[in-house]
Amino acid sequence: MSQLILGAYAQRNTDDHPPAYTPGYKTSVLRSPKNALISIAETLTEVTAPQFSGDIFGAKDNDLILNYAKDGLPIGERVIVHGYVRDQFGRPVKNALLEVWQANASGRYRHPNDQFIGAMDPNFGGCGRMLTDANGYYVFRTIKPGPYPWRNRINEWRPAHIHFSLIADGWAQRLISQFYFEGDTLIDSCPILKTIPSEEQRRALIALEDKSNFIESDSRCYRFDITLRGRRATYFENNLT
């Protein structure tokens, strides 16, 4: 059998994503282009992406409970988050760089610009990273973040969430998003989540309680899967180069 020849990534379905201009999320008003995006036919530039080797990672890079602990454990709910990264055609995405960041149990970020009164935790940093394995699987451990207030309207509150970023096989798959936790009532009132047009796509950002994977007298567990764009195969003319 001859080698599979890959074509372009399937086009991004813009209806499955927030538009750039979303006045309910006020900061977007002056930070969104007025012109329509210009769609281009993909070239080698768009289907390639950097590759990261496992040996640059430290042993605790995916353990947010321990990777900043100084004189004790951080305060908060111990949770494990795991899941699979695959493309839209169901193939596992291997060796993708997954990076995460979040607030602590108070809803306070370790960032110079965060002045919220919620207490800092000297034993919690709030960032981690990992590579997916050959099955597209990832797992990390953390403290469940608290919700926090922000100035959009004056009394706006974010649901508990963890930010994540993916660099995979093609530059066209580059994605940053956020996931939420099943059952959080703030999910229904969040103007950032509401920038996503469809209920189905908003639900795709909610991590589910994974009870059989709780670890007794230790940690609870959430399951969250991620889908990236996928490449079509080429069986006739190959126009990519």
Partner 1 sequence: MNAWNFQELKETASQTGGPYVHIGLLPKQANIEVFDNNFNNQLVQEQTQGERIRLEGQVFDGLGLPLRDVLIEIWQADANGIYPSQADTQGKSVDPNFLGWGRTGADFQTGFWHFNTIKPGAVPGRNGTRQAPHIALVIFARGINIGLHTRVYFDDEADANAKDPILNGIEWAPRRQTLIAKRIEQDGEIVYRFDIRIQGEDETVFFDI
Per the CB < 8 A criterion, the answer to whether 56 and 97 are in contact is: no
Judged by CB under 8 A, which of 139, 149, 156, 165 binds partner 1? Answer: 165
Q: Which is nearer to partner 1, 46 or 156 (CB)?
A: 46
When computed from its CA atoms, the radius of gyration of the chain, rounded to whole angstroms, is 20
Q: Of 86, 108, 129, 158, which is the active-site residue?
A: 158
Q: Is 46 helix (H, G, I), strand (E, B) or coil?
A: helix
Triad 36, 41, 43: Cα angle to 5°:
125
163 as an active site residue: the answer is yes
78 as an active site residue: the answer is no
Tokens representing residue 53 in the block: 């080797």
Q: Of 25, 138, 148, 180, which is the active-site residue?
A: 148
Given the rule CB under 8 A, which of 71-79, 134-142, 173-181, 211-219 is the region that contacts partner 1?
Answer: 173-181
Contact call for residue 228 and partner 1 (CB under 8 A): yes
Judged by CB under 8 A, which of 78, 82, 202, 220 binds partner 1? Answer: 202
Contact call for residue 45 and partner 1 (CB under 8 A): yes
Contact call for residue 189 and partner 1 (CB under 8 A): no
Q: Which is nearer to partner 1, 215 or 239 (CB)?
A: 239
Q: Which residues have CB under 8 Å from 154's CB, separation 6+?
A: none
State which of positions 10-29 bind partner 1 (CB under 8 A): 11-14, 16-20, 22, 25, 27-29
* Residue 37, Ramachandran bin (φ over 0: left; ψ between -120 and 50: alpha; else beta): beta
Q: Of 141, 161, 229, 231, which is the active-site residue?
A: 161
Judged by CB under 8 A, which of 131, 195, 207, 221 binds partner 1? Answer: 195
- In this structure, the dihedral spanned by the alpha carbons of residues 46, 170, 127 and 157, taken in order and rounded to 10 degrees, is 70
Contact call for residue 44 and partner 1 (CB under 8 A): yes
How many other β-carbons are positioned within 10 Å of the β-carbon of residue 40? 8
9 as an active site residue: the answer is no
Judged by CB under 8 A, which of 1, 2, 34, 153 binds partner 1? Answer: 34
Say how far apart CA 54 and CA 50 lie, in whole Å: 13
158 as an active site residue: the answer is yes
Per the CB < 8 A criterion, the answer to whether 76 and 124 are in contact is: yes
User: Which are the catalytic amino acids?
Assistant: 109, 148, 158, 161, 163
